[in-house]
Chains A and B, each alone.
Chain A
Amino acid sequence: MAAKDEMPNPLLITGKAPDASLAVQLHPLVLLTISDYITRHTLRSQEGPIVGAVIGQQDGRHFTLEHAFQCRLAEQRGDVVLDSEWFTDRLEQYREVHKAPALDLVALFALGPVDGPQKVHLPVLKQVQHLTGNDGILLLLFHGELMDKLQGGKLPISLYESVRSEQEGGELRFREMSFEVETGEAEMIAVDTVAKGGSTAVAVQKADTTTTTAAASPEGSRTAKGKGKGKTRDKQEEEGELNTLSPEDDELIASLTAKSNAIKMLNDRINLIRSYLETVPSSQLTDASSTTPPSETTNHPVLRSINALLSRIPLLSPPVASIPTQPTTSDSNGHGTVHIQPPTSQPTINTKEALDVHLTSLLAALTRSVAEASAMGSKFHVVSRERENKARNDNFGGGGGGGNGGFPGGRGAGMMVGSFGDGEWSTLDASEQEL
């Protein structure tokens, strides 16, 4: 993010950071904690500014911002500062439960205007830097005013590092830092779950999931209820008709929707690059035979990073069909960060994987068929027994043998499940391990 230069802020140092190796990874939980705090603070009409701490890992110039918590504030000579005893204690509590990997204070968060840190932010930051003996504590500002005009994946926050300028008597000043959003696997799933259950749709979705779970509750519980509970069974079946999708189907649909959204997004980004390139005025850059020098407004860094991105593509996509690695720009401005996935790209593995999956589906289908056959067998047994009894009552032990004949059939089917299923599952098992 570039510094906003239309409104000069005396506390802000504009321009590039001298050391570009600085990397900050922000986790969504921090953002949501801040948002949670803001909402709670407001609805409970609590007083005072919103300030909190962010903990994470720091390794040289690499930061991760992973967790956040709100802070109790105090006033000191008219300045807002933290309640230092409270804060030390609280931080210790957080350290105690985040030992692997060990997290420590890396930043403070507060609300602030878009043009950067204000004088009011100074005392509290100085205090914390003093308390922790760490001059590298960052400042994260949440810009409430940006909330309604968020575009292109920009988050309403900025991150600043503090710099003690030597000439001006040790005054603290700030330099804006860029950051990227990073999510752990579990975090992503959790965030995704939260994001999907849209707040307007909460009620509907709740009803929906209950019906599906009820409809697809395991056959086991249904059979267990037996004949005495015919009513509940009918009800469940009714619901089943209303909503024919099993939870598995729902999951599948959800995961495909997520995929299609992601592809749309990728497409948007590519189109953005394309349309940007199309608007570049013709010059030497677009046509080698032309002698027109590129116009002064040409943004060379962007063009260069687009070029760099394109030249990496062939490295990442192997010539034959395979699970590809995936290049993409993470920033529309062309700060081309390329996400590369470790290559798993052997076509043979791919086919093997596919075969494995198909085998699993087949086995699942087989298991179901055999179970159904067995159920059929036992039902037939019941019927034939009834018939047998009836016949016996009618003519005292007449044709009993015929009725019994059906029974071993049922047994046989049951056994097949065991032997067949077992063997196949083990085979698959072996093939999985082989991979």
Chain B
Amino acid sequence: MDPQKAWEIENAVKLVDPTRDALYKYDSMEQKKITSDRPWRADVHHFKHVRISAVALIKMVMHARSGGEIEIMGLMLGYVEHETFIVTDALRLPVEGTETRVNAQSEADEYMVKYLERSRQAGQLENAVGWYHSHPGYGCWLSGIDVATQSTQQTFSDPFLAVVIDPHRTISAGKVEIGAFRTFPEGYKPEDFGSSAEGMAAVPMAKAADFGAHANRYYSLEVSHYKSTLDNKLLEALWNKYWVQTLASSPLFTNREYVTKQIEDLAAKTHVLQGNISSRSSLPPMGPSSRRKGGDEQMAKLVKAAEKIASEEKMGLMAAMVKEKVFAAGAPQVDAAAHAVAANGGDTQMADAKAA
């Protein structure tokens, strides 16, 4: 067999659909042009979307999960296109975060530079377009330190993007909890205050002050992901391999600790709200609803958080119920059939298979 054929280059070409997989292309000339034009300078809201490749997403989620309670950090490779960041790959950085914050160190910088150099030599020409880190258990938003880090990056190596992943909530909700953010320049006042705060009903008590203090310093981008036609086929084949886990997992059991924590947090918040309201009601009724409004908002957040917990729990229960109906409902018959097998040796195999 001749060497070219053995390496199967032609076959590789057949696996790719140039139009549908267009995001995998990279035009370094165009990127240079964009980088020199800097269209994001004119509009602080220039970037609105992020598209993350299948590989990058999986790498980031796995990395976040591997950290456990510790925050981890890494970089994203990719490029920009119009108002969209295209993330093609992700790499881990050797940074040890504490439980609540993570900050790049010079050691990590050195690693990063070397890594990118090696990547380029191997044909991955993309630049770093952002950094990602994890918030284990407290949702996707930027803390004060994160805002400072991101702000520096946007000043010196724009276009740059911050991505936050919450591995704990990813596991408990069964879907990837991810947020992408860019900070506003120093001194910029967003019109719609709290736009980045949407969906942030469940920031834990301990973090709420930090969250509130910086919530108007950044905005979030819409995150979506993409995959190639080849990925698609592979994933189809893979699904056949891992469907077992869909049935076997029992979220109620695995998430118990997390749910308990969530409930604890909610109870504490409820308590605080109760305190606020009772202290206020002891005052004579005065002024229109200005003070009232804060309480309503808090209450709405509590409702939201409570409903979230309830719906996650409900999902877990349904998983357990489905399993019970499928596997345990017929248990007596299976039992009987199995005893028949034991009694008669292999003769009843066919009948038994039917019963099962």
Q: Does A233 reach chain B (CB closer than 8 Å)?
A: no
**Which one of A16-24, A117-125, A132-140, A160-168 is at the interface?**
A117-125
B315 contacts across to A, CB distance below 8 A: 251-252, 255
Interface centre among B285, B329, B339 (most CB of A within 10 A): B285
B346 within 8 A of A: yes
13 A-B pairs with C-beta separation under 8 A? A42-B16, A111-B8, A181-B242, A187-B58, A197-B225, A220-B297, A224-B297, A252-B314, A259-B322, A287-B347, A311-B342, A330-B241, A360-B314
B34 at the interface (CB under 8 A from A): no
Instruction: For A187, give the chain B residue with the smallest CB separation.
Output: B62
Specify which chain A residues have a CB less than 8 angstroms from the CB of B101 in the assembled complex: none
Stretch in A55-63, A142-150, A169-177 touching the partner: A142-150
B232 pairs with A193, CB closer than 8 A: no
The prevalent SS among residues of A at the interface is helix
Which of B92, B121, B266 meets A425, CB within 8 Å?
Answer: B266
- Of residues 18 through 39 on chain B, the ones whose CB sits less than 8 Å from some CB of chain A are 18, 20-22, 24-26
B205 at interface, CB cutoff 8 A: no
10 more contacts with CB within 8 A, not counting A318-B328, A407-B285, are A38-B15, A86-B121, A90-B122, A100-B66, A218-B201, A221-B197, A270-B353, A317-B328, A360-B309, A367-B306
B303 interfacial contact with A, CB 8 Å: yes
**Interface-located stretch among B138-146, B156-164, B272-280:** B272-280
Contact A93 B115 (CB under 8 A): yes
Q: For chain B, what secondary structure do more than half of its interface residues adopt (helix, strand, loop), or is it mixed?
A: helix
B252 pairs with A42, CB closer than 8 A: no
User: Are the CB atoms of A194 and B16 closer together than 8 Å?
Assistant: no
Q: Which residues of A sit under 8 angstroms from B233, Cβ to Cβ? A: 147, 150
Chain B's closest residue to A261 (CB) is B243
Set of chain B residues within 8 Å of A226, measured between Cβ atoms: 293
- Distance in angstroms from A402 CB to nearest chain B CB is 14
How many whole Å from A49's CB to the nearest CB in chain B? 4
Kindly report which residue of chain B lies nearest to residue A427, judged by CB atoms.
Answer: B267
Q: Determine if A310 and B356 form an interchain contact, defined as CB atoms under 8 angstroms apart.
A: yes
Interface-facing stretch out of B49-57, B147-155, B182-190 = B49-57
Is residue A77 contacting chain B, with contact meaning CB distance below 8 A? no
A414, B339: Cβ atoms under 8 Å? Answer: no
Give the complex CA separation of A206 and B264 in angstroms: 34
Does B1 have its Cβ within 8 Å of any Cβ on chain A? yes
Question: Which of B8, B241, B328 has a CB less than 8 Å from the CB of A112?
Answer: B8
- Which residue of B231, B240, B253 is within 8 Å of A265 (Cβ)? B240
When A98-B92, A120-B3 are in contact, do A206 and B270 touch as well, CB less than 8 Å? no
